[in-house]
Amino acid sequence: MQLLNILLDIAKTDSAEGYFPIGLQLLFAAGFVATMMVATHLLGPKRKTADKLENFASGIPTHGDARTPMAIKYFLVAILFVLFDVEVIFFYPYAVNFRELGWTGFWEVLLFVGFFLVGFIYIIKKGALKWED
Amino acid sequence: MGTTQILFWFLTALALLGAIMVLVSKNPVHSVLWLIVVFFAISGHYILLNAQFLAIVNLIVYAGAIMVLFLFVIMLMNLNAETEPQKSIWMKFFGVATGGLLLSFFISFIVSSIDLKNKTAQLKEGDVGLIKNLGKVLFSDYVIPFEIASILFLSAMVGAVVIGKKD
Amino acid sequence: MQHVWIVLGVLFVLLNVAAGLIWVERRMLAMWQDRLGPNRAGPLGLLIVLADTLKLFFKEDWIPSFADKKIFVIAPAIVVASVLMSFVVIPFAPGIVVADLNIGVLFFLAMSSLGVYSIVLGGWASNNKYSLLGAMRGASQMIAYEVFMGLSLMGVVMMTGSFRLTDIVEAQRSVWFCFTQPLGLILFFIAGIAETHRLPFDIPESESELIAGFHSEYSGMKFGMFFIGEYLGVTLISAMTVTMFFGGWMGPEFLPGWAWFFIKTFAFILFFILLRASLPRPRYDQLMESGWKVLLPLVLVNILVTGAVLLYLKG
């Protein structure tokens, strides 16, 4: 119990101990979600009818299940998202430090953005972001 | 055992369980979900080492972006339990054997490494991993790798477009 | 024990706000569309919240026989859990914050990026063509807008020099960032609407085209989880906008800090509802192209201009 109290009264957040309340919140949030799911499972009625064996399509005849390949467009969007997301990560350490880094840091980032823009313009010129072919 | 040790062993067990489930799951989408669990466990380890920026970047990039790409690819190819090719038992056996050999090689290498001898990981404190200190080092000592990384991104973009676009 | 009480208090307030929004949204939509809205159950129709919740509990909790059962159950859990986790870093009043991390903004971004999974997995596990279409469209919309969501907040972070949300609120003591970072505010809010997939950006649902999209096979409280998740998401984006751009708990002395925070957040929630009442849904290709080709370059310009001006002023 004493250990718990020591852990609970930590306010210093630059150390890893500041993450303890997050675990607490995760525990309670997961508990809430699990309770709701179990409750609705227990409370609701169960009726099995033949209609429920088909995919729902708002009344029109169903066209089968969804295990079909998707368009390659989505893959292209996803891979560009991964690339841009990783590039964006580099801006985060710059944003907190940019006052100390001054103009040198600014030119460095400008060069980085320059390369970024070259790639971006290439993507647009190639029509990778155009949805209609 | 202190709280840190308990957390360490818990996260280690979670990471190993997740990694094994990635391999064992028949359905590739389940594998992806278990891989996300592994990344969360690894982020937990980073937080124990007080490498906070790395922990959160691991979540944003790996759990939040790359796994979405994996899911998209799986849906793109419509891989599921029925269409997945069944590997023979010998394939599985050799896979386990080579994997085990690699693991024992890594372990013996790390145990005998001079750089790592008599050193312990810095737990909970040490502020090298905080975003501010990391940024200072990145933008002063490691500027050239940083700029080269942006060229790498450029080539990756070109590659993605060449693969994903017909013409 | 202080942390346990804060966590429990935050969760209690949030879940009640999310439930209350059922009533608020329907009354407000009705008001703006010249209808009455729910007004029968209890005073001003307030008991509709209770009635709706009970109804969801007593509906059949049905898992389709053709669905991937485990993932079908996990998907609605992810949406609520990930949004609730995002609230960890938001300071509701001085001293009332679950975990005041020094990477608070990044934690918010990481948690909100997990919301994509609920849509992709929900739509995929349902094994329905409409659901999968909604899921894929919704997911690519969310990831496209996620890219510049983080960048749109960088202007504020540069002005503060910290990712800690309490520092950001304290830095707005003299002037709110909505005046110094107007472009950042607009871009963040647009990204926020796309992240919560609310109208006008409700591509994954779009009930007139995809019969409720990714959650059309869901019923009972599993559907309710998507519902709660959406309202929690609206509250999250509103709270985040207030914290980052509108001074958080700051305000004239005659009201306590938390009251100011709730008033401002509520104003943004109403704005979300007003948008739903007034704007049509854009076409999918229009949405994607404007995200990549207009908003992303704008956000980069915002960062560079902010940086140049601040460095110039510093001399």
Question: Do the Cβ atoms of A81 and B68 come within 8 Å?
Answer: yes
Question: Do the Cβ atoms of B139 and A81 come within 8 Å?
Answer: no
Angle at B43 between CA B41 and CA B45, to 5 degrees: 75
Return the domain boundaries, chain A. 1-68, 70-133
Placement of tokens 């009625």 in the chain: A45
Q: What pLDDT score was predicted for residue C237? A: 92
Question: Do the Cβ atoms of B29 and C68 come within 8 Å?
Answer: yes
- State the nearest Cα–Cα gap between C197 and chain A, in angstroms: 18
Task: Tell me if residue C252 falls in helix, strand or coil.
Answer: coil
Question: Do the Cβ atoms of A65 and C81 come within 8 Å?
Answer: no
> How far is it, in rounded angstroms, from Cα A66 to Cα C122?
13
* Residues of chain A found within 8 Å of residue C115, distances taken between Cβ atoms: none
Touching A: which chains, 3+ CB pairs < 8 A? B, C
Return the domain boundaries, chain B. 3-86+123-128, 130-167
| pTM of the predicted structure, to 2 decimals | 0.88
* Residues of chain A found within 8 Å of residue C77, distances taken between Cβ atoms: 30, 33-34, 37
Q: What pLDDT score was predicted for residue A5? A: 44
Q: Answer whether C97's CB lies under 8 Å from C165's CB.
A: yes
Question: Do the Cβ atoms of A32 and C84 come within 8 Å?
Answer: yes
User: Residues near C134 by Cβ (< 8 Å), separated by ≥ 6?
Assistant: C119, C123, C203, C204, C205, C206, C210, C212, C213, C214, C216
Q: Answer whether C152's CB lies under 8 Å from C299's CB.
A: yes
Q: What is the pLDDT of residues C93-132, one digit of tens each?
A: 887 888 888 888 999 999 888 888 888 888 888 877 788 8
* Residues of chain A found within 8 Å of residue C297, distances taken between Cβ atoms: 120
> How far is it, in rounded angstroms, from Cα C220 to Cα C58?
7
**Nearest by CB to C103, which of B30, B72, B131?**
B131
> How far is it, in rounded angstroms, from Cα C197 to Cα A87?
25
> How far is it, in rounded angstroms, from Cα C10 to Cα C16?
10
Task: Tell me if residue B57 falls in helix, strand or coil.
Answer: helix
- State the nearest Cα–Cα gap between A91 and chain B, in angstroms: 9
Half-sphere exposure of B5 (CA within 13 A, CB side): 2
> How far is it, in rounded angstroms, from Cα B102 to Cα B104?
6
Return the domain boundaries, chain C. 64-314
Task: Tell me if residue C93 falls in helix, strand or coil.
Answer: strand
> How far is it, in rounded angstroms, from Cα C236 to Cα C52?
22
pLDDT, mean of residues A51-74: 70
* Residues of chain A found within 8 Å of residue C292, distances taken between Cβ atoms: 129
Q: Answer whether A50's CB lies under 8 Å from B158's CB.
A: no
> How far is it, in rounded angstroms, from Cα C129 to Cα C210?
9
> How far is it, in rounded angstroms, from Cα C13 to Cα C134?
31
The A residues from 8 to 37 touching C (CB cutoff 8 Å) are 8-9, 13-14, 18-22, 24-26, 28-30, 32-34, 36-37
Q: Does C109 touch chain B (CB under 8 A)?
A: yes
* Residues of chain A found within 8 Å of residue C65, distances taken between Cβ atoms: 52-53
* Residues of chain A found within 8 Å of residue C296, distances taken between Cβ atoms: 84, 120
> How far is it, in rounded angstroms, from Cα C74 to Cα A37?
10
Task: Tell me if residue C98 falls in helix, strand or coil.
Answer: coil
- In 3D space, the residue among C152, C68, C81, C74 whose CA is nearest the CA of residue C115 turns out to be C81
Query: Is pLDDT at A2 greater than 80 in this prediction?
Result: no
Question: Do the Cβ atoms of B64 and C136 come within 8 Å?
Answer: no
Q: Does C158 touch chain B (CB under 8 A)?
A: no
Q: Answer whether C108's CB lies under 8 Å from B61's CB.
A: no
Q: What is the pLDDT of residues A95-122, one digit of tens each?
A: 888 888 888 888 888 888 888 888 888 8
> How far is it, in rounded angstroms, from Cα B68 to Cα B72?
6
- Taking domain A70-133, whether its CATH number is 1.20.58.1610 is answered by yes
pLDDT confidence band for B125 (50 / 70 / 90)? low
Q: Alpha carbon of C162 to those of A98, A107, C27, C168: distances in Å?
A: 11, 21, 40, 7
Q: What is the pLDDT of residues B56-85, one digit of tens each?
A: 899 988 988 888 888 888 877 765 556 556
- CATH architecture group of domain B3-86+123-128: Up-down Bundle (1.20)
Question: Which residues of chain C are under the pLDDT cut of 50?
Answer: none
Q: Answer whether C205's CB lies under 8 Å from C134's CB.
A: yes
ipTM score: 0.85
Tokens at residue C252, please? 């004239």
Report the first-to-last Cα separation within chain C, whole angstroms: 48
3-state secondary structure C23-39: HHHHHHHHHHCCCCCCC
Q: What is the pLDDT of residues B20-70, one digit of tens each?
A: 898 888 788 888 899 999 999 999 888 888 888 888 899 988 988 888 888
**Nearest by CB to B147, which of A16, A111, A128?**
A111
Query: Is pLDDT at A9 greater than 50 in this prediction?
Result: no
- As to burial, measured by CB atoms within 10 angstroms (0-12 exposed, 13-18 middle, 19+ buried), residue C65 is exposed
Which amino acid, C312?
Y
Q: What is the pLDDT of residues C220-244, one digit of tens each?
A: 788 888 888 889 999 999 999 999 8
